[in-house]
Structure 1
Amino acid sequence: MPDDLVPLTDTQLLYLTRHLLDPSDLTSHCLLTWVVDGQLDREALAVAVAAVHRRHEPLQAAYRAEPTPVAQVLDVDPPPLEELPDQPSVDAAIAALRALLAGELLVEEADVWRVAVASAGPHAVIGCVVHHIAFDGWSESVLARDLATAYNAVVRGRDPASVMAAPRRLAHVHRHYVRRRADPALHARREQQRIELADVPPLRWPTEPAEAAAAGPEMIHVSLPADVRAGVRRWSAQTGANEFTVLLAEYAAAFAEATGLRDFTIGVPVSQRHDQDLDDAIGCHTALTCIRLRGAALNGGAAGVSAVGRLFSTTRDVPFQDLIPPSGQSGEPLPPIFRTLFAVQDDTSVQLPLDDLRTTFVRQPYLDLPLDLYTELWPADDGLTLTVCFRPDTVARSCAATIAGLYEGRLRPSTTGGRP
């Protein structure tokens, strides 16, 4: 196959299928927002957008299902920098940009991302949306860094291409993926997981009435200071588990306590950036797997960490698409194998260091969610940011707040519940 035609990964095929079934679907739209203090050079920003577009092939590809699912790299123009009328406040500018960027992205026509800006007094707000088929959590910091590098080059009178890293070819990246999928041990783990998930009970949320979701998903935001992160590192050293396992184990305990559930599944995004040369590449380098949590895995502390570590070691490389059983003879649709997600984003902070300007990244709720609730941890200076994003028509805000509160309590060093 020519290098400009690259087969889609399982995860990309999922996003493409969802898009083709409903082009107005927003569950795969990744939204980024920065508030800028100072005089933003909009012409320089437009040039920077074009430079980032040209560097990253996933942003200039068409994602098509026929005749075979591929990403076709095209020589398409970068998205224009869209400008909104002046807004009365920063909050109004953020809301206006959110509404603007909540439109369709026609990925089959190489319409993959958009960038817009709005002024609010002495501030400017930059908004960006990228389709998940070409993007992942790690890509946020890559895009921010490259956008700032290109912008700063322009305002200094330099060609941005001369200061940016060489382009990363999509075909080269796909070869990494093919090698991973060819692992012969994957088949055995896949069959083991299918058996493990065969009798999972349906997830039932606490019965408190939920709210209408006319405005889309809501988000609970918690800032966790440096001592929390230091405590997680200590727990990791004491248990011999990695930090992700510690964080997932304490989340499983908090989720069980908040919901009363003792047997449930959680979806977990797993990075596919197994090689360092992918660290500076924008793209969808992730897969989703599913883990069933019950018994000792809900205990937290050392016992919970040990149980969760054993479970996740057998599931982490098995994409959830491989675990979906065939539909039953009744023809009734099967329930999803998970309705919640948990992720620890291991990328660097999404900073946009523009020369002579102060910028602040604003973490917003997702434009839409394909499931009920999504809990994420993000690096923030020396600490962590915890977000619990949920559909209020399915999950009561009080339930989401209880999950966030119990989880925060288990992670804080002053508590004993999460200590190993």
Structure 2
Amino acid sequence: MTDHATVRVQLASALEMQFWLGEQIDPASHAGWVLAQVRVDGPLDLPALDAALSAVARRQEALRTAYVFEHEQVVRKVLAEPVAEPLLRLGAGTGFEEAAATLLNADTFDLAAGRVYRAAVAPDAQGATVFLAVHHIAFDGLSQEVFATDLACAYARAVDDVATDLPVLERVEAAELTPAQHADLTTHWRTLLAGAADLPTPDGGPAPNQHELAVGGSAELRTTCPPTTSQAVRDQARRSACSPFAVLLAAYGRALAEITGGSDFCVGTPVATRSAGQEDELGCLINVLPVRMPELSAPGVVERVWGAVRESIMGSALPRYEIVRAVHTVAGGRMPVYQALFAFENWRRVEHSAGPVRMHTVPVPPVGAVAEVQLQVCELPDGTLKCIVQAPLTGSWPQRLPDLLRAFDSQLAEIAPSAPPHSFSSEAPA
């Protein structure tokens, strides 16, 4: 444990306990790690950036919290000062893959000491890219936007020779469920997922067990859909009176069914659990919910999927591990309840003025498999959709990832038909 003074000790949340346990199983697993990116356009002042990063870490409890096992429970200890290595200078033009190889390793993080992040900067002719290697226990997708906002504010103060200290945010604790609420939510999930099937593996191949998922590497493919596809998705969402998320999830569900022959399976999806007062807070403030795929081949699939999403969101206050415990009654080594994951990032990425430079976030792919197969779709500012599929190397999905991307592309064109066809191609990571 670090010698840094402890400000406060609290019981870890359910999600934090899951991440802590995953770290004990395999400290080198990429599944619990994030590599965030903030683009800086303009002449960068490195000492000012260093000071700004420290100011953000002092402001945000998530970046100065240790997680330890005491008295048979996992607790978080908020520290007075962050624990982190100095800002790392990378070579000019360093890209995401090279930065990930440098920053993401078992020595980067130490949850017991409160070392949950490491920052680096890679300059180039137009400015620089700031990389933040951060443990998922302290960071989710929306945290990247919060981080960029705070960093721009602190950097602007630093270059103006103003004290970089930002107001310290104390974590807002979510209200605990009452016994009656817990019972109602448990009943909701048992009813909703009764009889749901596992997703078959492609070609009837072997399914990785949970330990293999945690410790294995992953295969990855990417493709990009043009803005016309994004517009078609939005048009279909309006016709179906739902979110574009439901259109994309319906296409993914149909693609999974096409490849595996499966039906009545669930797809996991992360949803934000930020409550009032947490808008400016860093942390992993999400819950991963299973969405039971309805009948996927008949007309009206988008509306049915949207209905299934709403039913799952109604039970979102129950933590994932409680959902699993409520509905998964058969012992086994395979990932329970859902084996496929879907995530959609379409939030607005604000460009911040920070003294002489401009800052904005860059969508980043997952760096480790957290399901037997997973698809992430990011909507970029120009309207293109960046699609990334991943699967652990153990199992039969890696060989079928190109087929899955093609199936997703064709199913999306069928579900949202107003987009002109485009030439589909997949690519490995750069």
Q: Scaled by the length of structure 2, what TM-score is found?
A: 0.79
Residue of structure 1 equivalent to 2:255: 254
Residue of structure 2 equivalent to 1:324: 324
Kept in 2: contact 1:208–1:396 (CA 8 A): no
- Deviation for aligned residue 1:351: 5.8
Q: CA 1:333 to 1:101, structure 2 compared with 1: closer, same or farther past 3 Å? A: closer
Q: Considering only aligned residues, what root-mean-square deviation do their CA atoms show, in Å?
A: 3.8
- Deviation for aligned residue 1:218: 3.6
Pairing 1:342–2:342 present? yes
- Deviation for aligned residue 1:60: 0.9
- Deviation for aligned residue 1:59: 1.0
1:49-97 deviations in Å (ceiling 9; x for gaps): 101101111111112232233322111245243335646x534x85155
Pairing 1:314–2:314 present? no
Q: CA 1:155 to 1:394, structure 2 compared with 1: closer, same or farther past 3 Å? A: farther
CA–CA distance in structure 2, aligned partners of residues 208 and 333 of structure 1: 17
CA–CA distance in structure 2, aligned partners of residues 329 and 61 of structure 1: 35
Kept in 1: contact 2:372–2:397 (CA 8 A): no
Q: CA 1:224 to 1:357, structure 2 compared with 1: closer, same or farther past 3 Å? A: farther
Pairing 1:117–2:160 present? no
Q: CA 1:351 to 1:398, structure 2 compared with 1: closer, same or farther past 3 Å? A: farther
Residue of structure 1 equivalent to 2:101: 98
Pairing 1:75–2:80 present? yes
Residue of structure 2 equivalent to 1:291: 291
- Deviation for aligned residue 1:141: 1.3
1:185-206 deviations in Å (ceiling 9; x for gaps): 5533422423554544443332
Residue identity matched to 1:285: L
- Report SS of the residue matched to 1:159: coil
% identity of equivalent residues:
24
Matches of residues 270-285 of structure 1 in structure 2 within 5 Å?
270-275=271-276, 277-285=277-285
Q: CA 1:329 to 1:247, structure 2 compared with 1: closer, same or farther past 3 Å? A: closer
Q: CA 1:335 to 1:81, structure 2 compared with 1: closer, same or farther past 3 Å? A: closer
CA–CA distance in structure 1, aligned partners of residues 221 and 229 of structure 2: 18
Residue identity matched to 2:183: H
- Deviation for aligned residue 1:299: 3.0
Kept in 2: contact 1:7–1:69 (CA 8 A): yes
Matches of residues 230-269 of structure 1 in structure 2 within 5 Å?
230-269=231-270
Kept in 1: contact 2:194–2:327 (CA 8 A): no
- Report SS of the residue matched to 1:267: strand
Kept in 1: contact 2:31–2:368 (CA 8 A): yes
Residue of structure 2 equivalent to 1:133: 137
- Deviation for aligned residue 1:281: 1.3
Q: Scaled by the length of structure 1, what TM-score is found?
A: 0.81
- Deviation for aligned residue 1:348: 3.0
> Equivalent of 1:207, from 203, 207, 215?
203
CA–CA distance in structure 1, aligned partners of residues 183 and 269 of structure 2: 19
Q: CA 1:340 to 1:74, structure 2 compared with 1: closer, same or farther past 3 Å? A: same
Kept in 2: contact 1:102–1:367 (CA 8 A): no
Residue of structure 2 equivalent to 1:56: 60
CA–CA distance in structure 2, aligned partners of residues 216 and 349 of structure 1: 30
CA–CA distance in structure 2, aligned partners of residues 300 and 417 of structure 1: 19
Kept in 1: contact 2:373–2:397 (CA 8 A): no
Residue identity matched to 1:273: R
Structure 1 range deviating more: 261-270 or 357-366: 357-366
Residue of structure 2 equivalent to 1:4: 8
Residue of structure 2 equivalent to 1:46: 50
- Deviation for aligned residue 1:135: 1.1
- Report SS of the residue matched to 1:287: strand
- Report SS of the residue matched to 1:27: helix
- Report SS of the residue matched to 1:343: strand
Pairing 1:407–2:403 present? no
Q: CA 1:355 to 1:82, structure 2 compared with 1: closer, same or farther past 3 Å? A: same
- Deviation for aligned residue 1:13: 1.4
CA–CA distance in structure 1, aligned partners of residues 329 and 162 of structure 2: 65
Q: CA 1:410 to 1:359, structure 2 compared with 1: closer, same or farther past 3 Å? A: farther
- Deviation for aligned residue 1:158: 2.5
Matches of residues 367-382 of structure 1 in structure 2 within 5 Å?
367-382=367-382
Kept in 2: contact 1:97–1:118 (CA 8 A): no
- Report SS of the residue matched to 1:349: coil
- Deviation for aligned residue 1:138: 0.7
Kept in 2: contact 1:35–1:124 (CA 8 A): yes
Q: CA 1:360 to 1:286, structure 2 compared with 1: closer, same or farther past 3 Å? A: closer
Residue identity matched to 2:387: L
CA–CA distance in structure 2, aligned partners of residues 130 and 45 of structure 1: 17
Structure 2, gaps ≥5 residues long:
1-5, 207-211, 420-430
- Deviation for aligned residue 1:230: 3.2
1:218-255 deviations in Å (ceiling 9; x for gaps): 43333344443333333233222233333322321222
CA–CA distance in structure 2, aligned partners of residues 360 and 37 of structure 1: 9
Residue of structure 1 equivalent to 2:427: none
- Report SS of the residue matched to 2:366: coil
Pairing 1:22–2:17 present? no
Residue identity matched to 2:250: A
- Report SS of the residue matched to 2:80: coil
CA–CA distance in structure 2, aligned partners of residues 325 and 230 of structure 1: 40
CA–CA distance in structure 2, aligned partners of residues 19 and 311 of structure 1: 32
- Report SS of the residue matched to 2:118: strand
Q: CA 1:85 to 1:51, structure 2 compared with 1: closer, same or farther past 3 Å? A: closer
Residue of structure 2 equivalent to 1:194: 190
Kept in 1: contact 2:10–2:75 (CA 8 A): yes
- Report SS of the residue matched to 2:379: strand
